[in-house]
Amino acid sequence: NASFLAQEDLERGRKSELREQPVDPKKDNFSVLFIGVDARPGEKKSRSDALILASFNKDEKSIKMVSIPRDSRVEIPGHNLDKITHAHAFGGKDLTVQTVENLLNIPVDYYVELNFKAFINIVDALGGVEVNSDREFTEQDSKGRKNAIHIKKGVQTLNGEEALAYVRMRKKDPLGDIGRGKRQQEVIKAIIKKSSSLSAITKYDDIIDSLGKNLTTNFSIGNVLALQKYSGSISSIESLTIDGHDNPINGTYYYQLEEDSLEKVSTELREHLEYNAMLSSNL
Ligand code: C30
């Protein structure tokens, strides 16, 4: 396979510190953290604008996803309480992964870090994605041209630029970054759906070749091809929400995640990964 995939292990190596063994997406349940950045992946000083953790259960063929709002006030290892978006600026994907593991007490087995360009290329290579917008709005395009993108209300197929605008918009939604997180999850679902309907495996080579350094991941090419087979058999994709509320502190806007809700989501994801079961079987 001649495709180039910017594969990069985390500093910790293949295995999460919360795992006894590395997981193999071909035969184990696993988790993936999607990290959307407004920079080149690997550039450490940038913040992350989108953080979505997904768990995959191989027997149920199901996926659960949760968005972590970027202003969530959380403990960043070595940096006390701060916005989770800053974990990336302090320590890139490594610290972002550690922060999410620490917050939810769940191993993050894989990450996919991508920027605008990779996102646009993926959506375009798939021939667009279908969404159902709950509102009509205009948004800037990737070059910063104001109101260059027009999203209608209702079901429509978005190309790469349109899909990017769809997942970036927050100011015209009363739910702000929370509403934006929902649109991001909707688009991930649409991408999974669309990619499963593609028969030609060469499409994947095209996609991977188009990514260059705009997407980095610790999945191998072999993993990605295995996942592509998986995508056709996914039976359900469920969205979970961590409840929270606005919490400005000394003039800085933070989002306070609610402890009960955090606990509930953590438990649900752990069960979905059968993470406890795996630990006890190793005792
Ligand atoms: C391994 C492989 C190949 C595959 C794995 C399998 C799968 C399923 C792969 C799928 C991978 C994908 C495509 C995952 C999707 C993950 C997502 C949803 C990524 C999101 C897109 C992305 C790359 C980055 C995040 C973009 C976001 C959310 C925001 C950045 C506002 C400022 C100050 C103003 C500014 C204003 C707006 C839009 N902008 O956009 O503009 O920086 O947003 O809210 O920070 O800025 O506020 O007031 O200056 O104009 O309102 P932004 P902001």
- CB-ligand 1 contact for 111 (6 Å cutoff): no
Query: pLDDT digit string (tens) for 15-46?
Result: 999 999 999 999 999 999 999 998 777 776 89
Question: Over pLDDT 70: what percentage of the chain?
Answer: 94
Q: What is the pLDDT of residue 260?
A: 98
CA of 181 to the centre of ligand 1 (A): 10
158's enclosing H/E stretch is: strand 154-158
Range list of H helices, the chain = 85-104, 116-125, 160-168, 176-196, 202-211, 221-231, 259-273, 275-281
- 254 in contact with ligand 1, CB cutoff 6 A: no
Residue of 9, 31, 38 best suited for mutating to test ligand 1, as the one with most atoms within 8 Å of CB: 38
Q: Is the pLDDT of residue 1 over 60?
A: no
- Which ligand 1 atom lies nearest to the CA of residue 184? 18
- Is the CB–ligand 1 distance for residue 126 below 6 Å? no
How confident is the model over 268-281, as a mean pLDDT?
Answer: 79
Q: Is 90 in the pocket of ligand 1 (CB under 6 A)?
A: no
H/E run at residue 110? strand 110-114
**List of domains in the chain:** 30-281 (3.40.630.190)
Residue 79 pLDDT more than 80? Answer: yes
Looking at residue 202, what is its pLDDT? 60
Summary mean pLDDT of the chain:
92
Measured from the Cα of 170, ligand 1's closest atom is 51
Look at ligand 1, atom 21, and give the residue with the nearest C-alpha: 36
ipTM of the complex: 0.93
